[in-house]
């Protein structure tokens, strides 16, 4: 994604939503044992036309997207 961490995509009619995905970056996080581990993280931004899709529906869509990305095997079942 050309090193862009996050951005907002512009909706073009007749689209109702558009999903923007940023680049993958490694971040340090604290583990339960007090150590440090590194995780890969991406940013996903959903732009919605609120005349068609309200914020609750958009948040649900992002939640489902997150669960599928975190567990890709679910896409096959």
Beta bridge partners of 26: 40
Active site residue 25: no
CB 45 within 8 A of CB 6: yes
Instruction: Name residue, tokens 């996050």.
Output: 6
Q: Which of 2, 25, 50, 64 is catalytic?
A: 50
Question: SS3 of 28, please?
Answer: strand
- Whether residue 36 contacts residue 28, with contact meaning beta carbons closer than 8 Å, is answered with yes
Q: Which residues are catalytic?
A: 50
């Amino acid at each position: 994604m050309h090193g862009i961490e996050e951005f907002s995509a512009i909706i073009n009619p007749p689209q109702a939503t558009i999903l923007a995905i940023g680049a993958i970056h490694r971040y340090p996080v604290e583990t339960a044992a007090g150590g440090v581990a590194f995780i890969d993280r991406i940013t996903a931004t959903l732009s919605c036309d609120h005349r068609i899709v309200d914020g609750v529906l958009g948040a649900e869509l992002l939640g489902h997207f997150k669960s599928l990305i975190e567990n890709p095997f679910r896409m096959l079942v």
